[in-house]
Amino acid sequence: MPNYYLGISAFYHDSAAAILREDEIIAAAHEERFSRKKHDQSFPVHAVRYVLNEAGLTIEDLTAIAFYDKPFLKFERLLETYHAFSPRGFQSFLSAMPIWIKEKLFMRNLLWNELKTIHGKPFGHKPPLLFPEHHLSHAASAFYPSPFEEAAILTIDGVGEWATTTIGLGRQSTIEILCELTFPHSIGLLYSAFTYYCGFRVNSGEYKLMGLAPYGIRDTNQYKRFKNAILAELVDIREDGSVLLNMDYFDFATGLRMCKDEKWKALFSIPRRESESELTQPYMDLALAIQEVTEEVVIKLARTAKQLTGSNQLVLAGGVALNCVANGKLQKSGIFDAIWIQPAAGDAGGALGAALAACHIWKGGERTPAKPHSDAMKGAYLGPEYGPRDIDRLKNKFQATCRRYSEFDLLCADTARLLAEGNVVGWFQGRMEWGPRALGNRSILADPRNPEMQKRLNLKIKYRESFRPFAPSVLAEDVREYFDIETASPYMLLVAPVTHQLRKTAAPNDPADIRDRLYRLRSDIPAVTHIDFSARIQTVHQETNERYWKLIQAFKQRTGCGLVVNTSFNVRGEPIVCSPEDAYQCFMRTEMDWLVINDCLFEKTGQPKWKETREWKQDFQLD
């Protein structure tokens, strides 16, 4: 019988589960997609049930279960840290002990109790329960599924048990961690502190800070003052990329806030921005300053990884690896011949990494060689899939009406026509994506040529801030016609510029009202062109997602444009949709025009009147 490994991440944010047959990834999913709680941190009951069901297994059939963290190591180090910083901090630690003991110290018992609930009866056999370290799980998630037999490994996040950054070397089935940076010195926590100070939510608003940065203006005294203050007072960046934070300005080691607001106010001469308040130029300049500092650190760390390993390939994981602007700069730097980034680079991906560590490091399993120019992630389409019976149940529950197509090519042609006519289409196909990005199976699509589309999608469909950009899904074979990029980007983890021939003459990035700057026409594909002419790119490959590729090909045949706007199928504060019912409800609650689920096309005007049972738009969590 093959060996099967279950990986679990939980109890911080973005809980998830993944399962392997030997080193083949069978299934992986985020708990939030089932529970409908964004960034759900609870034990991933639904995700574990799903991946076990997908593999046709019970818990007793598993070779091992791996948790993505080493809780007792974290306890020991945090005890030292809290005591060292201040008596007040130590008292805070002691007061939190009951929660900590329940969730961390007795993790083994906690996990078995949760797994017993899933199993539904007493265990006749318990598989081994393993605890690889947090950053080892990140490293395993980055290296083992990559297309490389050997690679430098760089993991960067807020903090694991104790490490905040590691550099390692992967060869065949082995991983060696060469050096690490430890808490509280963390570029991830520094970036999150600015996320907090600019009025966004930590652990989810970092995307917003990255999207806000291009509105900053480099040639102003204010921006220069902000960046100089960061480098002079907040962080000491060494030549090897390691950082030392000035803890006089931070509160995350001993308190419940990221930074000391009054000291930051004195340093930058602006107060912390209140959530949902107006975004003014100082916060844009602050976002740009910390984004550039982060990029500098990532580049220096990559150079150090190159020096230590001598490798020509690099793999990345950890939350900072989701900073696709920094990734784009790293790719362009030429430090490495090739880089590969785990699509679920954050804590959710630790579930997959823990399972892979169990397979290769604990069990000594051989690594299956990747196909040339491919990886082992199966396009990150690793979640649940739904069939005709699920659509029939949806129709019966909501009295929904649709047209069912017998030929998929005809559905693509009709959908392409609808997009070209200015409609917004929900697109639901096949297996759900793994990672934070929608990659064409749970996506909202639109025409990138439409100059009004970016505004409409933000305000009428996603119900989110108007400054946030949208990504293009582009035919892989056409990507260089639109963007200055020399590599594939299947997981939407690289930012690159729109080519000069597609750009329009645009006014400079001056301190005018943000809405005025936002809606200036910048290129022939304005809905996916950010204020600095950049775009977060997804290359769509026929061999990985033929149905999505066919749709974009149909759009190209109709319009001559080989890309579409792709944004995740959800609204602000809610996870990406998982089931057909999730998709239909999101469709009816927003101003989407059409919905495609598998081979069925739903028209908004043909549906029964929607009766909402709650004040839905007032229920948004701030993300």
Residue 508 has what pLDDT?
60
* Burial degree of 399 (CB within 10 A; 0-12, 13-18, 19+): exposed
Q: What's the CA gap between 609 and 165, in Å, rounded?
A: 52
The predicted structure's pLDDT at residue 48:
98
Q: List all residues 6 or more positions away from 490 whose beta carbon is below 8 Å from its beta carbon.
A: 379, 380, 439, 476, 538, 539, 540, 541, 544
**Cα angle at 347 between 342 and 353, to 5 degrees?**
55
Contact call for residues 490 and 541 (beta carbons, < 8 A): yes
- Reply yes or no on domain 187-338 having CATH 3.90.1150.10: no
**pLDDT value at position 470?**
93
d(CA 521, CA 524): 8
Give the whole-angstrom CA distance, residue 22 versus residue 368.
9
pLDDT given at position 257: 74
Closest CA to 47 of 61, 33, 26: 33
For tokens 């006749």, name the residue: 124
Question: Is 403 strand, coil or helix?
Answer: strand
Type of residue found at 143? F
CA separation for the pair 376, 366 (Å, rounded):
14
CB atoms closer than 10 angstroms to residue 60: 12
Domain regions of the chain by residue span? 4-142+344-376, 187-338, 388-619
Predicted pLDDT of residue 377: 97
Query: Do 187-338 and 388-619 show the same overall fold?
Result: no
Q: What is the reported pLDDT for 369?
A: 75
**CA dist., res. 27 & res. 424, Å (int):** 30
Hey, what CATH topology would domain 4-142+344-376 get? Nucleotidyltransferase; domain 5 (3.30.420)
- For position 469, what pLDDT does the model report? 87
Q: Please tell me the distance from the alpha carbon of residue 69 to that of residue 404, in angstroms, as a whole number.
A: 46
Q: What is the DSSP letter of 458?
A: I
For the chain of 623 residues, list the mean pLDDT of each consecutive stretch of 10: 96 94 98 96 97 97 96 61 52 48 65 93 94 97 97 95 95 96 95 96 92 93 97 98 96 77 96 92 97 98 98 97 97 97 97 98 90 88 97 96 97 98 98 97 98 90 85 98 96 96 76 70 94 96 97 98 97 95 96 97 95 55 43
User: Which residue is associated with the tokens 């005591």?
Assistant: 83
d(CA 368, CA 24): 8
pLDDT at residue 78, as a whole number = 55
- 3-class secondary-structure state, position 556: helix
Q: Which two tokens stand for residue 72?
A: 């007792």
What pLDDT score does 512 carry?
A: 63
What is the CATH class of 388-619? alpha beta
Residues 418/554, Cβ–Cβ less than 8 Å: no
Q: What is the pLDDT of residue 494?
A: 97
Instruction: Determine the pLDDT at residue 370.
Output: 74
- Give the model's pLDDT for residue 520: 81
